[in-house]
Amino acid sequence: MSLRPRARETTEPDLHMGSGSAVSLTSVSKVYGAGAEAVHAVDNVSLDVEFGEFLCLVGASGCGKSTLLNMIAGLDKTTNGTVEVRGGRPTLIFQEPALFPWLTVERNVDLALKLRKIDRADRKQVVGSLLEMVHLTGFGSKQPHELSGGMRQRVAIARALAQQAEILLMDEPFGALDAMTRDLLHDEVERLWQDTGFSIVFVTHNVREAVRLADRVILLSSRPGRIAAEFPVDIPRPRRIESPEVGALATEITARLREEVKHHGVQT
Partner 1 sequence: MAYRPEPAPFEEELAGLDALEVKTPRARSRARRIWSSLWPKFAAVGIVLLVWQILVWAHWRPKYVFPGPGAAFRSLWDDVANGRILRATGVTMERAAIGYGIALLIGSAIGIAVARVAVLRAAIGSLITGLQTMPSVAWFPLAIVVFRLSETAILFVVVLGAAPAIANGLISGIDHVPPLLLRAGRVLGARGMKAYRHVILPAAFPSFLGGMKQGWAFAWRSLMAGELLVVIGGRAGLGFTLDSARLSQDYPGLMATMIVILVIGIMIDSLLFGVLERRVRRRWGLIEATS
Please, what is the minimum distance in Å from the beta carbon of residue 226 to partner 1? Answer: 26
- The reply to whether 94 sits near partner 1 by the rule CB under 8 A is yes
- The reply to whether 163 sits near partner 1 by the rule CB under 8 A is yes
Sequence length of the chain is: 268
Q: Which is nearer to partner 1, 51 or 231 (CB)?
A: 51
Count of residues interacting with partner 1 (CB under 8 A)? 43
Among 41, 56, 58, 92, binds partner 1 (CB under 8 A): 92
Among 52, 140, 150, 224, binds partner 1 (CB under 8 A): 150
Among 164, 181, 206, 254, binds partner 1 (CB under 8 A): 181
Q: 63 near 26, Cβ under 8 Å?
A: no
Q: How many other CB atoms are there within 10 angstroms of residue 203's CB atom?
A: 25
Instruction: Specify burial of residue 223 (Cβ count, 10 A radius: 0-12, 13-18, 19+).
Output: middle
How many helices, marked H, and strands, marked E, lie in the chain?
7, 9
**What part of residues 48-77 is at the interface with partner 1 (CB under 8 A)?**
73, 75
Please, what is the minimum distance in Å from the beta carbon of residue 92 to partner 1? Answer: 5
* SS3 state at 19: coil
- The reply to whether 7 sits near partner 1 by the rule CB under 8 A is yes
DSSP state at residue 48 = E
Q: 6 near 196, Cβ under 8 Å?
A: yes
**What part of residues 239-268 is at the interface with partner 1 (CB under 8 A)?**
none
- CA 27, distance to chain mean position in Å, is 21
Q: 195 near 5, Cβ under 8 Å?
A: yes
- The residue range among 33-41, 42-50, 97-105, 216-224 that interacts with partner 1, by the rule CB under 8 A, is 97-105
- The reply to whether 173 sits near partner 1 by the rule CB under 8 A is no
Q: 219 near 230, Cβ under 8 Å?
A: yes
Q: Which is nearer to partner 1, 40 or 114 (CB)?
A: 114
Q: Which of 74, 66, 55, 54 is nearest to 94 (CA)?
A: 66
Footprint on this chain of partner 1 (rule: CB under 8 A): 5, 7-8, 73, 75, 89, 91-92, 94, 96, 98-103, 111-112, 114-116, 135-136, 139, 142-148, 150-151, 159, 163, 180-181, 184, 187-188, 191, 194-195
